[in-house]
Amino acid sequence: MVNQLISRTLKYEKLTEKALKKSKICVSKNSALQVIAKDFIDMASRYLADGKYYKTKREYEIALASFAYAHAWLDCCARLGLTDVKQDNKLFTLYK
């Protein structure tokens, strides 16, 4: 069971890193949505960093939760159309 937790944690870390790299803010720089998009990306980055920290401490449950939260912020950005993710419906839950 511990090996499965570690494996999932590493998998979600890689997926989230990939999703963060793919997320490009696509709303107007003069729009209020730009501020929101930046905030969402910042939250995702912070949760990703938290996950990495907890992973080094071998607190895999907290690390996995942090990676999941990070990815959720990125998912929200993509679904709302705040980021261009090239219609990647494998990394993101996109609006249909």
* DSSP class per residue in 27-52: S-TTSHHHHHHHHHHHHHHHHHHHHH
- The pLDDT, as a whole number, for residue 1 is 78
High-pLDDT (> 90) share of the chain, %:
93
Report pLDDT for 96: 66
CA distance 16 to 35: 21
Percentage, residues of the chain above pLDDT 70: 98
Is residue 64 pLDDT above 80, yes or no?
A: yes
Domains delineated in the chain: 2-84 (1.20.1270.90)
Residues 6+ apart with CB under 8 A from 54: 60, 62, 63, 66
pLDDT at 94 (0 to 100): 83
Overall average pLDDT of the 16-44 stretch? 96
Q: Give pLDDT tens digits for 34-59.
A: 999 999 999 999 999 999 999 999 99
